């Protein structure tokens, strides 16, 4: 009997997981994220990695690109919307390496972490509330 091919979740499946996580957030949080675009890509672009000083593309699972709500002003005129990027391949790699968390839970965690940056939270503050490294 042949075993079925088992393929990792694609970009659309990761996006569906992220959308479910977004939908599960409290209404007031979702409302404040209404203008934030969600982007799912395999990896961050090299220019992004270089700008962050990251050599290994597997080290970046997500990124908030925008102006935090705590810093926005009517004088800010961005060309596009604020964006949350989730990077599929690094997320999958972390999920495999960890082995102790579900993929949907990990996608949700990365999404919430990046949304916290939209609200102006630093990595240090996020770690105080949600230390994912434990």
For 10-61, how does the pLDDT look when each residue is reduced to its tens digit (9 = 90+)? 999 999 999 999 999 888 888 988 889 999 999 999 999 999 999 999 999 9
H helices, E strands: number in the chain: 6, 3
In a domain, 72, yes or no: no
Identify the three-state secondary structure at position 44. Answer: coil
Give, for 85, the enclosing helix (H) or strand (E). Answer: strand 83-87
In tens, the pLDDT along 47-80 reads 999 999 999 999 999 999 998 888 877 676 667 8
In a domain, 3, yes or no: no
What is the domain count for the chain? 1
* Dihedral over alpha carbons 54, 101, 117, 41 (to 10 degrees): 60
In a domain, 113, yes or no: yes
**pTM for the whole thing?**
0.87
In a domain, 71, yes or no: no
Phi then psi for residue 117, to 5 deg, are: -65, -35
In a domain, 2, yes or no: no
In a domain, 107, yes or no: yes
Domain that holds residue 60: 11-65+81-129
In a domain, 41, yes or no: yes
């Amino acid at each position: 009997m042949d075993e079925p091919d088992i393929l990792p979740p694609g970009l659309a499946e990761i996006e569906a997981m992220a959308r479910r996580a977004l939908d599960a957030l409290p209404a007031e949080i979702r409302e404040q994220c209404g203008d934030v675009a969600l982007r799912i890509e395999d990896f961050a672009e090299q220019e992004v990695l270089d700008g962050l000083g990251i050599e290994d593309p597997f080290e970046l699972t997500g990124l908030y690109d925008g102006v935090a709500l705590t810093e926005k002003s009517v004088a800010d005129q961005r060309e596009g919307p604020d964006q949350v990027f989730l990077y599929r391949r690094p997320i999958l790699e972390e999920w495999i390496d960890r082995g102790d968390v579900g993929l949907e839970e990990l996608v949700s965690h990365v999404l919430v972490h990046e949304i916290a940056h939209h609200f102006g939270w630093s990595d240090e503050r996020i770690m105080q509330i949600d230390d994912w490294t434990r």
